Amino acid sequence: MTHRLVAAAAGVPLAATTYHYATKRDMIADASQRLLDGFVRSFERAAQRQRESGRAVDLGGFVTNLLANAAGRNRTAALAWCEIILEAARSSEGHAIAGAWFGRLIEAWRDLARAIYGELDEDAVISGIDTAIGLLFITLPLKLSADQLAAVFSAGADPVTQWAPAAAAPEEPGVPARRTPKARETRARILQGAIDILIAQGAGAVTYKAVAAESGLTIAAPAYHFGSIDALLKAAEAELFARSKDRYRDMVASTAVAGRPLDILADLTATVFVREVTQHGRAAIAIYSIGLESSRRLDLRPAVWEVITDQAVAWQRRLETVFPAIGSFDAMRMQAVFIGKQVRVLATGSRLDQLALARSAFRSEIAATGQGDA
């Protein structure tokens, strides 16, 4: 974003933007606050409409409508909100802004819950918010249609089948498969440079020039080893996700397993969650940043979908250790809950009071999945 680009988009003289906003940061801060305030007001209006109409809706239906609107007329605003929340996770200033905003959002959802149910406990309100956030970060990158959303939320279709993107066109041959040790070392430096930029600034900041500077290489090196920025982003996402899976496997291997299946899964999920937000939170933000970028760059979408389905399949296996039968959406819902909690906690600074609630929150979410013997 620059003053010049904003002036062109707004149809005003360049001097008008510099008069009202001295720096790019000032523009972003004001636009972000206005957008966040607008979202809270929309929930407040929804609560008011519910009180006035008394329509028989529930929070699940409200979330479904929210996602449908985000996929349609509110898509640009929803994507901007996701970008703002990820950016908030990168600074203490962002944590303060997000913390205040989530406080208002939770109160707006409480008001909505009271209008629908008369009363609803705090955990259920937080669960609804986290689920909605997680589903936004799953569905927006895939650029799903209203029909694809309805097939899952209204008709009960399996999201792993219904939401799969079209197959990507075959990639052109790139660097020869046989690489010298020096070439492998250079490629690894480039990949790590891209990851460092992703973590610090997001996917939109990854360019050949930026990666070359970060890696201490010539600008020609990233272009030689990665034929496109999309190829570099896909490789970075794959590497970040592989590291995350390795950490998970190491944790499972070193964890003593004893107790009821529900408690085992709750303990493991909470342990993974706390470790990821406290030690590797910025890597998670980088992965979600690539996901949002795929909403604009079709070539990234299959790679993003591969990460989503990998996690959905993993959740399917975990839930089947607790319940004899689960629904087609249960695994994706738990993935959404995990993502939503992670994004909310990271955006607000990973406070200890939030981390202390992780185990009980995940146990309740898992228990709500099925009715089998846990």
**Which residue has tokens 């909690």?**
341
pLDDT of residue 113: 85
pLDDT of residue 96: 92
Largest CA distance in the chain: 70
pLDDT of residue 331: 95
**Which residue has tokens 């795929």?**
294
DSSP letter, residue 177: S
Q: What is the pLDDT of residues 233-275, one digit of tens each?
A: 999 999 998 898 888 887 777 666 667 999 999 999 999 999 9
DSSP letter, residue 9: H
pLDDT of residue 257: 64
C-alpha distance from residue 61 to each of 51, 58, 187 (Å): 16, 5, 48
pLDDT of residue 62: 82
- Name all domains of the chain by residue range, CATH numbers in brackets: 3-157 (1.10.357), 179-227 (1.10.10)
pLDDT of residue 162: 94
- Residue segments in the chain with a per-residue pLDDT below the cut of 50: 175-176, 371-374
In sequence order, what are the residues at sequence separation of 6 or more whose Cβ sits closer than 8 angstroms to the Cβ of residue 79? Answer: 140, 292, 295
pLDDT of residue 89: 92
Name the pTM for this structure. Answer: 0.87
pLDDT of residue 251: 74
CA angle 127, 130, 135 (to 5 degrees): 120
Q: What is the pLDDT of residues 184-196, one digit of tens each?
A: 899 999 999 999 9
CA angle 257, 260, 264 (to 5 degrees): 45
Task: State whether residue 134 is helix, strand or coil.
Answer: helix
pLDDT of residue 256: 62
Q: Using CA atoms, how far apart are residues 90 and 113, in angstroms rounded to an integer?
A: 31
Q: Using CA atoms, how far apart are residues 233 and 195, in angstroms rounded to an integer?
A: 9
CA angle 198, 219, 172 (to 5 degrees): 80
**Do 236 and 194 form a contact (C-beta atoms < 8 A)?**
yes
